[in-house]
Chains A and B, each alone.
Chain A
Amino acid sequence: MKKYIQPLLPVLTLYIVLLGAGLSIPGLWQPIAFIMFYVVLGQALNMFLGMTGYVDFGYVAFLGLGAYGMALAFSLFTDDGLGSGIIVVGFLMAVIFSILLSMAVGAIALRLRGAYFAIATIGVSEGFKYLIEGARLWGGSEGIIISSQLRDSFGSEMANYLSTFASDILIFAIGILAAILTVYTLHTRAGYALMALREDEDAAKVMGVNVTKYKVMAFGMSAVFAGLIGASAWTLKLTYVFPEDVFNIIYTVEAIVIVMLGGAGTLAGPVVGGLIYGILRYYLATVLPGFQLLVVAPLLVLIVTVFPDGVVGYIKRKLKGSRFSKYVI
Chain B
Amino acid sequence: MVLLKLEKVTKRFGGLVAVNEVSLEIKHGDSIGIVGPNGSGKTTLFNLISGVYMPDEGRIFLEDQDITELPAFKRAPLGIARSFQIPRPFRSATVRENVAVGAMFGAHGEKMSVDEAMSIADHYIDLVGLGDKRLELADKLTAVEKKLLELARALAMKPKLLLLDEVVAGMNPNDVDKIVSLIKKIKEEEKIAAVAMVEHVIPAVMKFAERVMVMNEGKKMVEGATMEVLKMKEVAEVYFGTSQTIGESGDARG
Contacts and interface: CB of A to CB of B under 8 A. Distances in A.
Interface in A170-216: 187-189, 192-193, 195-196, 199-200, 202-211
Interface stretch (B71-79, B191-199, B204-212, B215-223): B71-79
A195 B105 contact: no
Contact of A199 (B71, B73, B91, B102): B91
Contact of A195 (B75, B76, B88, B93): B93
A209 B102 CA distance: 9
A193 to B, nearest CB: 7
A205 B157 CA distance: 13
A189 B73 contact: no
Contacts of A208: 73-77, 105-107, 157
Interface residues of B, number: 35
A12 to B, nearest CB: 23
A211 B73 contact: yes
B77 A199 contact: no
B9 interface: no
Nearest to B50: A206
A206 B52 contact: yes
B90 interface: yes
A203 B88 contact: yes
A320 B137 contact: yes
Contacts of A196: 90, 93, 101, 105
17 contacts: A187-B114, A189-B104, A189-B113, A192-B117, A193-B105, A195-B92, A196-B90, A200-B88, A203-B84, A205-B52, A205-B71, A207-B76, A207-B105, A207-B157, A209-B73, A209-B101, A210-B73
Interface of B: 50-52, 71-77, 81-82, 84, 88-93, 97, 100-102, 104-107, 112-114, 117, 135, 137, 153, 157
Per CB-CB distance, the 5 closest pairs between chain A and chain B, nearest first, are A208-B76, A208-B105, A199-B90, A203-B88, A205-B72
Interface of A: 187-189, 192-193, 195-196, 199-200, 202-211, 265, 320-321
